[in-house]
Amino acid sequence: MLGCPPPYRGNNTRVAGLLREMRALGYVVHFAGVGLSEEEKAGTLPWVDQWVANFVQPPPAPLSLWGLLKRKTRSLFYRLHWVEDKLDGLFYAPWLDEARELQQRFHYPRVLISYVHHSKFLQAFPDSCLKLIDTHDVFTNRRHRLRAAGVATYWRSYSAKDERRGLQRAQHIIAIQEQEAAYLRRLTGSACRVFTVGHFAKLLEQPLPPARILRLGCIGSRNGANVHGWQWFVRDVWPLVQKRVAGVEIWVAGTLCEKCTPAPGVRLLGQVPSLADFYRDCPVFINPVRTGTGLKIKTIESLMHGRPVVTTRVGAEGVESFLGHGLFICDSAEEFANSIVNLLSDLPLAQRLGEESLLRARSYVLENRQVLAEALAK
């Protein structure tokens, strides 16, 4: 597997879950990083059989005056929405020879790439090798979609033509949720097989003990979509909850805290030493994200920890099967607040719904494990 440095924490857990499941299916997993730090390498090693490479670009050469002008011009075009990112813009050409050397050495029967912008690596492997891309997200016109929703920052964004070109370098494509899988099937046509494989997380053996405190939990990274959703929540939803639930608190964990301003009843924890303890201490979780792509990892992980989750339609994409089993979908501020108040007003009910979500999560993992096995089969 070729893995990239995840830009956000959720992507990191996605990669770890896939590695763990592939080994559980009986595969020997070799891992090659792309620009991973020593800390990221150390975090990956427990989940792989062998670390084989880390593809790193050399420091860029100083730009000429003409090169600097071209960069400034392209940056202006980005801000004016005139251009998308280049599909292979992050790829360093000598990496192809390095990848070919790995194939000559190990004779891999299959190779899995994370993200479409690393798809050029697949050109280093013969057609006899099963080539897969785990997409994580759909990147077609992503910048336009996020900015239309009021999110100014984004990670990568490609034209439909470029995303199709990158995906068609593979034979099998893994989408993280069915809505995106349907789009990728339309985009690539009959050239590729598309599989939907959701998120894998370690399941609890027993439900978490009941939490008897009027407290919400929220965990997330500082990416633009999370920040946008949090700002909506604290402005439009949180005051409605505070008026109806005396003494209520919300604890926020993760790098999202770096973008949060202090507010009454809001406790910013930053990076927590134990996620298990964090889930144990909060009886109800929220994910107020209102735009974005992929699967909202923190929604499914909260459900997998046996805690009910109040989220939006966007936050529930890919896990709609949990509706009625601890998942509440609310797009208006009033609906969102009402669901939170109802759960906090009946904590035994919140506990029962969380236990139902844990039961549903076990079926969810088995279903996704079966599809992953099909995707890896030649």
What would the pLDDT profile of 21-46 be if each residue is shown by its tens digit? 999 999 999 999 998 888 888 888 88
Residue 319: predicted pLDDT: 92
Q: Which residue carries 């390498």 as its tokens?
A: 41
Domain check: are 155 and 286 in the same one? Answer: no
Residue 73 scores a pLDDT above 90:
no
How far is C-alpha 303 from the geometric centre of its chain's CA atoms?
A: 15
Residue 75 scores a pLDDT above 80:
no
Domain check: are 183 and 257 in the same one? Answer: no
Q: Is 34 exposed, middle or buried (0-12, 13-18, 19+ CB in 10 A)?
A: buried
pLDDT digit string (tens) for 310-344?
999 999 998 999 999 999 999 899 999 999 999 99
Q: How far apart are the first and last CA of the chain?
A: 16
In a domain, 210, yes or no: no
Per-residue pLDDT band for 9 (boundaries 50, 70, 90) equals: low
pLDDT digit string (tens) for 240-291?
999 999 999 999 999 999 999 889 999 999 999 888 899 999 999 999 999 8
Residue 2: predicted pLDDT: 59
Domain check: are 224 and 182 in the same one? Answer: no
Domain check: are 191 and 226 in the same one? Answer: no
What φ, ψ does residue 120 adopt, rounded to 5°?
A: -60, -25
Alpha helices in 124-219 (DSSP H): 142-148, 160-167, 178-188
In a domain, 374, yes or no: no
Residue 72: predicted pLDDT: 65
Residue 1: predicted pLDDT: 61
Stretch among 42-46, 71-75, 309-313, 345-349 having the lowest mean pLDDT:
71-75
Residue 83: predicted pLDDT: 60
Q: State the DSSP string of 4-59.
A: ---SSHHHHHHHHHHHHHHHHTT---EEEEES--HHHHHHHGGG-SEEEEEE-PPP
Domain check: are 187 and 250 in the same one? Answer: no
Domain check: are 233 and 180 in the same one? Answer: no
Percent of the chain with pLDDT over 70: 90
In a domain, 372, yes or no: no
Domain check: are 174 and 68 in the same one? Answer: yes
Residue 370: predicted pLDDT: 97
Gyration radius from the chain CA atoms: 22
How far is C-alpha 106 from the geometric centre of its chain's CA atoms?
A: 30
Residue 170: predicted pLDDT: 97
Position with higher pLDDT, 286 vs 3 = 286
Q: Which domain holds residue 302?
A: 215-365
Residue 112 scores a pLDDT above 60:
yes
The pair of structure tokens assigned to 90 is 């992050």
Q: How many CB atoms lie within 10 A of CB 247?
A: 9
* 373/23 Cα distance (integer angstroms): 11
CATH number, domain of 275, equals: 3.40.50.2000
Residue 6: predicted pLDDT: 41
- Element of type H or E holding 74: helix 65-79
Q: How many domains does the chain have?
A: 2
Q: Average pLDDT in the 191-211 region?
A: 89
